[in-house]
């Protein structure tokens, strides 16, 4: 009996404790749970679950599996776009350096390639310098630009052009008066004809507007020295200066124009030395087939000049003829329209010297 009385109070105490604990838990469960507090903007770790503690409770928030590592992008090197100067082009190459010139007369069957090899030149240089647009005929006189020192070639003097076509080279020298020149240019312009003018440097300095008009009209300009001296009385250096200064004067007045490759000795005075010096400077000496005589002796009438220029030579000899007249002649300016019209009626074309020499 004593043992039962001792255990009964323990049973009652346990029962009461359980009832009290049940009430407590039931009350706790009916209270709303506070929200889980997440700190922002700190991101959740992608390497381990995060434990969040709030109101004494611990919750484990699952996280996304870690992303696979990505390789860092390779550094990008940006190159500047190519400029026209940096692109390889044919024009970016420097032109070949010409060290001198030689005269050469083409023989039958000879090609430009053979001539270029003989003188250490190139076909392109020879063609460009001599205004060639077709293989040169036998007997054609050429100035050959040299890329290395070589023999001086031949002492040449051109006196006529090719006879294959009915072409005539009317060439006018300008070294004295210029007053008739506008009328000469007008007669040529009205007929669409271009010719070759041999100008002195002194005349160009005195008449720059006429020089520019000649260039604008498409005429061919050639070298007649600066001061119109007798070159046979000058030394080699003086001859060279006469030629080079004339070219420089033209470049000042009409940039881009040139007196090359033709040269006429003043007064028609020359010897072999003069010819060789001129050729070595890149000029082909040009004489004439027929002198109009407009600057020789007594003053000439326009009628005299028309008859002399158009009738003195027979038609066969007129083919390829080089005719000399002067810009300072009033009679030539007056006669020129009739001369040009008569040649046209005869079936002849008046052309530049470079055309007639083809």
Query: What residues are labeled active site?
Result: 173, 326
Q: How far apart are CA 14 and CA 9, in angstroms?
A: 9
To which residue do tokens 């001296």 refer?
229
> Is-contact 275 236, C-beta < 8 A?
no
Element (H, E) at 330: helix 330-345
Which residues sit opposite 351 in a β-bridge?
Answer: 169
CA angle 202, 204, 209 (to 5 degrees): 150
Both tokens assigned to 263:
């040269």
> Is-contact 3 11, C-beta < 8 A?
no
> Is-contact 29 36, C-beta < 8 A?
no
CA angle 355, 158, 278 (to 5 degrees): 110
CA 239 to chain centroid: 32
> CB atoms < 10 A from the CB of 277, how many?
23
């Amino acid at each position: 009996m004593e043992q039962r009385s001792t255990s009964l109070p323990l049973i009652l105490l346990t029962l009461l404790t359980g009832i009290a604990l049940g009430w407590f838990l039931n009350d706790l469960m009916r209270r709303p749970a506070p929200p889980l507090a997440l700190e922002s903007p700190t991101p959740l770790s992608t390497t381990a679950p995060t434990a969040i503690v709030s109101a004494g409770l611990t919750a484990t928030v699952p996280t996304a599996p870690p992303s696979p590592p990505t390789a860092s992008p390779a550094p990008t090197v940006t190159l500047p776009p190519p400029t026209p100067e940096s692109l390889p082009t044919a024009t970016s190459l420097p032109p070949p350096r010409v060290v001198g010139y030689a005269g050469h007369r083409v023989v039958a069957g000879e090609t430009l390639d053979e001539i270029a090899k003989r003188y250490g030149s190139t076909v392109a240089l020879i063609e460009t310098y001599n205004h060639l647009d077709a293989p040169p005929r036998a007997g054609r006189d050429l100035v050959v630009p040299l890329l290395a020192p070589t023999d001086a070639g031949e002492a040449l003097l051109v006196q006529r052009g090719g006879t294959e076509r009915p072409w005539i080279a009317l060439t006018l020298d300008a070294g004295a008066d210029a007053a008739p020149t506008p009328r000469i240019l007008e007669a040529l312009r009205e007929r669409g004809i271009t010719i070759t003018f041999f100008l002195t440097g002194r005349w160009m300095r005195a008449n720059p507007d006429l020089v520019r008009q000649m260039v604008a009209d498409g005429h061919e300009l050639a070298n007649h020295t600066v001061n119109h001296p007798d070159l046979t009385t000058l030394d080699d250096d003086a001859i060279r200066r006469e030629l080079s200064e004339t070219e420089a004067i033209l470049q000042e007045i009409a940039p881009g124009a040139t007196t090359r490759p033709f040269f006429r000795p003043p007064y028609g005075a020359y010897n072999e030395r003069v010819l060789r010096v001129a050729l070595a400077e890149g000029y082909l000496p040009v004489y004439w087939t027929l002198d109009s005589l407009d600057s020789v002796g007594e003053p000439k009438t326009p009628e005299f000049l028309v008859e002399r220029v158009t009738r003195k030579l027979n038609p066969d000899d007129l083919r390829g003829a080089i005719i000399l007249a002067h810009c300072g002649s009033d009679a030539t300016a007056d006669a020129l329209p009739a001369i040009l019209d008569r040649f046209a009626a005869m079936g002849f074309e008046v052309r530049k010297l470079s055309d007639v020499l083809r």
